[in-house]
Amino acid sequence: MKRRLRKRRVLKWIGVGLCVVSGSIWIACSIFNFGYAGSQIGALFSNGSMQIVWETNEEPDGWETWPSWPGSRRSAIGWPSVESYGESLLVEVPLWLLFGFPAILTILLFRMDRVADIKCLKCAFVFAGLERCPCPKCGEFT
């Protein structure tokens, strides 16, 4: 029981960390453009989405940041896409999706913990002022 609760606690804080990181990148890349150019792979963060390019055929020059292009201001809600240009492959992943998936799971984990602190999951008996398990009403180890 204690081990399960501890695991859930670790999971939910990992979820919070993921949400903070992906949310920060999402907000930052709708204000600035930044990208990484490597020898085989390149990543561009702009307009609320992440574009990954394989086989860039460009000189690797590491990380770079620059202000958003005035003409390219799109909605911060984009859609996933995969395109190929000759030998290079471009994958566009919108960051609201990367933020949303862990966010939903983290909210669920938080809500589950809150209920575990208050009520029995089987008979909804209120645990206020009592040990958590077993439930004094139905005997359930939730």
Partner 1 sequence: MIQKLAKRLLLTLTVVSIGFAVWSYFATVHFECELSSKCLVTLETQPRGLNVIWCNYSGNIDHPRGVSQSLLNSSKCSWFPSINSFQNSGSSGASKYWVSSLAVRLPFWSLIVLLATYPLIIPALAWGCRRIRRRCLPIYACYLVALAVVPFTLIVAGLACYFVSMLMLFVGIPYAVRTPINFATIIVAIYVIAGFLYRYLIGPVNWMLCEQCGYDLTGNTSGVCPECGASLDSGHTLESYQDCP
Q: Is 89 in the site for partner 1 (CB under 8 A)?
A: no
75 lines the binding site for partner 1 (CB under 8 A): yes
The answer to whether residue 7 forms part of the interface with partner 1 (CB under 8 A) is no
d(CA 73, CA 80): 17
Judged by DSSP in three states, 112 sits in helix
Question: Scanning the structure block, which residue is given the tokens 């085989």?
Answer: 40
105 near partner 1 (CB under 8 A): yes
* Cβ 44 to partner 1 shortest distance, Å: 18
Rule CB under 8 A: is residue 14 a binding residue for partner 1? no
Angle at 99 between CA 114 and CA 8, to 5 degrees: 30
CA atoms within 13 Å, Cβ hemisphere of 109: 19
Interacting residues toward partner 1 by CB under 8 A: 26-27, 30, 48, 73, 75-77, 79, 81, 94, 96-97, 99-101, 103-105, 107-108, 111-112, 115, 119-122, 124, 138
